Amino acid sequence: MKAMIVTYGCQMNEYDTHLVQSQLVSFGADIVDSVDVADFVLLNTCAIRGKPVEKVRSLLGDLRKIRARRPLVIGMMGCLAQLEEGQQMARKFGVDILLGPGSLLDIGKALESNERFWGLAFRDELHDHVPPAPAGQLQAHLTIMRGCDHHCTYCIVPTTRGPQVSRHPDDILRELDSLLVAGVQEVTLLGQNVNAYGVDQGARVGGYPSFANLLRLVGRSGVRRVKFTTSHPMNFTEDVAAAMADTPAICEYVHLPVQSGSSRVLRRMAREYTREDYLRHVADIRKHLPHAVLATDIIVGFPGETEEDFQDTLSLYDEVGFDSAYMFAYSPRPGTPSYKHFDDLPREVKTERLERLIARQKEWSARKNAAKVGTIQELLLRGEAHDSGFLEGHTRGNHPTVVPKAVGVTGPGVHLARIEHATPHMMYATLVDSAGNALPELPKLNPEAAALTSPLAMA
């Protein structure tokens, strides 16, 4: 069988895709990247906003047309599959296999079935399952929990992924060991709310470390770089910042979603913290990590948001000085309290506010990135950039960076580089040795063409 998985959404979905791909390979399937040659196409879906849902709907329509011409098994997994909205879509387009986020290990049973298979139960053994390490990759994701115990009024995740269940630390460390043996250099710990690790449904799980101590355990395992996402400010503690500061492997990058700078809107979102609480967390982070790179998520145009509320978000952005942000206009999702009880704002209001926030973010990102010019940063290079004479990667602070290939450095790896130029969303650097001396660049086959098409020239 030739199988293809199309993935939408978050890093958790990327992890789940790897988990299911490893299951498929163990059954003898070949993983392909083209629908044209696939016998089985599985969509790993996202339901957090309307746009990824519409992408799934469109692709299912295309797949149904292909199946009218030749045999094709169509499957859906992920958050949308767990919802009635997704199940109605599956019926409409004749989906053969439907797997919720808690039933991924049922993929083998589903493929053996001679009739439509829907698996929507939350399986406990999923939390104990350790997938094989990804081959030939320097980066990897490592899930430390599933589900969420918060009930933000805009969020569908507690419905799709269930209550929070933390993985046993032994399983986490066992999976980490396999990643290190496979040559992984950077591990990102994943969860809907990683800093609540070990406290499930309001009670501490016996024998489980706090998230801060889990960070210390992982950071002292021999892994070179550790990141984590995503955090909820309600559960963020100063000890997490202290653990980051006293464990060199943990990158000085914190993704702490604020969602709004208005305490009034935060109450309507049921976020369980205020603007002032959030700013105290930022102060704790900078107390222990003065040069921390701060990223956030912001929802613009939440129902009931006034211009004054939005100004509070803009002023918070200036007070914190975020390095980057994921910014979205509010998208009403069926099944959430905000969809049921609140009236949506006009699209044009949400769009105009989002444009203003993006402009503010670009100003701050430009300022923060410009401050890195002249500094030496550790890069994890993933491979060739758009121009084959260059490599792309990212810093410990998650800044996307491009460098020219140099003598002895022509592919993936961890290297030092001096930042030469920066835009709001990209850095351009030169590879250096441990003393800060520039490494000789590889000669370009066509110097004139290279000068015109290099990432630095196009910036």
DSSP state letters, 410-449: -SSEEEEEEEEEEETTEEEEEEE-TTSPBPPBPPPSSHHH
8 A C-beta contact, residue 82 and residue 59:
no
* Token pair recorded at residue 386: 């758009």
DSSP assignment string, 98-147: EE-TT-GGGHHHHHH-SS-EEE-S--GGGGT--PPPPTT-SEEEEE-EES
Residue 121 has a CB neighbour count (10 Å cut-off) of 11
- 3-class secondary structure, 205: coil
Cα(198)–Cα(180) distance, integer angstroms: 24
Q: What's residue 457's pLDDT? A: 52
Please indicate if the annotation marks 251 as binding a ligand: no
Longest Cα–Cα distance in the chain: 65
Buried b (16+ CB within 10 A) or exposed e, 73-87: bbbbbbbbbbbebbb
Instruction: Give 341-376 pLDDT, tens digit per residue.
Output: 999 999 999 999 999 999 999 999 999 999 999 999
Cα–Cα distances (Å) from 126 to 20, 130, 168, 209, in that order, read: 11, 9, 12, 20
Cα(220)–Cα(173) distance, integer angstroms: 11
Backbone angles phi, psi at 412, to 5 degrees: -60, 150
8 A C-beta contact, residue 298 and residue 13:
no
User: What contacts 450, CB < 8 A, 6 or more positions away?
Assistant: 387, 389, 444
8 A C-beta contact, residue 393 and residue 414:
no
Q: What's residue 444's pLDDT? A: 67
Cα(153)–Cα(291) distance, integer angstroms: 33
Environment class of 89 (CB within 10 Å of its CB; exposed 0-12, middle 13-18, buried 19+): buried
Q: What's residue 446's pLDDT? A: 56
Taken in order of first residue, the domains within the chain and their CATH numbers are 2-122 (3.40.50.12160), 125-368 (3.80.30.20), 376-458 (2.40.50)
Cα–Cα distances (Å) from 155 to 79, 162, 172, 233, 345, in that order, read: 12, 12, 27, 16, 17
Q: What's residue 134's pLDDT? A: 87
* Token pair recorded at residue 91: 């019926």
8 A C-beta contact, residue 128 and residue 168:
yes
8 A C-beta contact, residue 393 and residue 401:
yes
Question: Can you state the angle between helices 211-219 and 169-181, rounded to 10 degrees?
Answer: 30
Nearest to 11 by CA among 194, 152, 174, 153: 194
Distance of CA 153 to the CA centre of its chain: 21
Instruction: For CA atoms 121, 122, 125, 130, give the dihedral sign.
Output: positive
Tens place of pLDDT per residue across the chain (459 aa): 999 999 999 999 999 999 999 999 999 999 999 999 999 999 999 999 989 999 999 999 999 999 999 999 999 999 999 999 999 999 999 999 999 999 999 999 999 987 889 888 777 677 788 898 888 899 999 999 999 999 999 999 999 999 999 999 999 999 999 999 999 999 999 999 999 999 999 999 999 999 999 999 999 999 999 999 999 999 999 999 999 999 999 999 999 999 999 999 999 999 999 999 999 999 999 999 999 999 999 999 999 999 999 999 999 999 999 999 999 999 999 999 999 999 999 999 999 999 999 999 999 999 999 999 999 999 999 999 988 899 999 999 999 999 999 999 999 999 999 999 999 999 999 999 999 999 999 886 554 544 444 555 545
* Cα-only R_g, the chain: 23
Peptide bond into 45 cis (omega under 30): no
